[in-house]
Amino acid sequence: MSLTAMTLLQQFVLLLAALALFLSFVLLAQPRLVAAIHVFAWQGGLVAAVTLTVAMAGDASHLYFSALLTFGLKALLIPWMLHRLTRRLGLARHTETLTRPALVIMAAVVLVIFSYWVVVPMVAQGLAFTRNIIAVSLAVVLIGLLMMVFRQQAVAQVLGFMSMENGLFLAAVSATAGMPLVVELGVAFDVLVAMVLFGVFFFQIRESIDSLDVDRLNRLTETNEVEGAS
């Protein structure tokens, strides 16, 4: 379905999705923790907006609720919790730079292309206009994972994780016009509990290693030399 054939609302959905993808890049490269949390909140907001727009464009009434849930959780509650945690952990001014930002960004670009390549055969037979967004949502998921690979800071890792969840929400909306309600509620509940637990763990980690640098969590390994047993 070519872009021009779409309604304005449908075009707006694509725009929002593209913005969400852009925010993934920003999140990946953002050195300041607090700023990253804000970016994440914006991304959550964009996902909610996509949901809302799809609901309006596709006349899927149950998506209104979904949009509300996403907005409440991803744009407000979780960013707020993270914000509070960073303040309590004294990380409000924390910055962390990637070692080779250009390379990481390039890798992320490659991931986007890769996602598109993977999804093409699927999109080709799709009918609904939202199908094109699947590639974007997959890219958001993968970039979130990439962010977790390259960020050493525990809070940043959680941001990556939550950004992956954003990608998932996006996929659910775009590919299937929303999951069954019980699943959606369950997922939201799980994400919330996960966030609470992440908060608990930030304190536990800091208590045990005096830092939130995950690279220093390296006691449990097999690579130390062992003297021959038996």
Q: State in angstroms the smallest separation of the CB of 4 from another protein.
A: 25
Q: Min. distance of Cβ 93 from another protein in angstroms?
A: 23
**Rounded distance between C-alpha atoms, residue 212 and residue 205, angstroms:** 7
Smallest distance, another protein to C-beta of residue 204, A:
5
CA distance 109 to 94: 27
Label each residue of 180-227 as H, E or C. CHHHHHHHHHHHHHHHHHHHHHHHHHHHHHCCCEHHHCCCCCCCCCCC
Nearest distance from residue 21's CB to another protein, in Å?
Answer: 16
Burial of 23: CB neighbours in 10 Å, binned 0-12, 13-18, 19+ = buried
| Interaction of residue 217 with another protein, rule CB under 8 A | yes
Left if phi > 0, otherwise alpha if psi is -120 to 50, otherwise beta: which for 90? left
Q: Which stretch binds another protein (CB under 8 A): 8-16, 27-35, 51-59, 167-175?
A: 167-175
Residue 146 interacting with another protein (CB under 8 A):
yes
Phi, psi (degrees; rounded to nearest 5) at 178: 90, 145
- 204 near another protein (CB under 8 A): yes
CA 221 to chain centre: 29
Number of residues that bind another protein (CB under 8 A): 63
User: In this structure, what token pair is assigned to residue 140?
Assistant: 């958001």
- In whole angstroms, the minimum distance from the beta carbon of 59 to another protein comes to 14
Q: Does 223 bind another protein (CB under 8 A)?
A: yes
Q: Which residues bind another protein (CB under 8 A)?
A: 114, 117-119, 121-122, 125, 134, 138, 141-142, 145-146, 148-152, 154, 157, 161, 164-165, 167-168, 171-172, 175-177, 179-183, 186-187, 189-190, 193-194, 197-198, 200-201, 204-205, 207-209, 214-215, 217-223, 226-227, 229-230
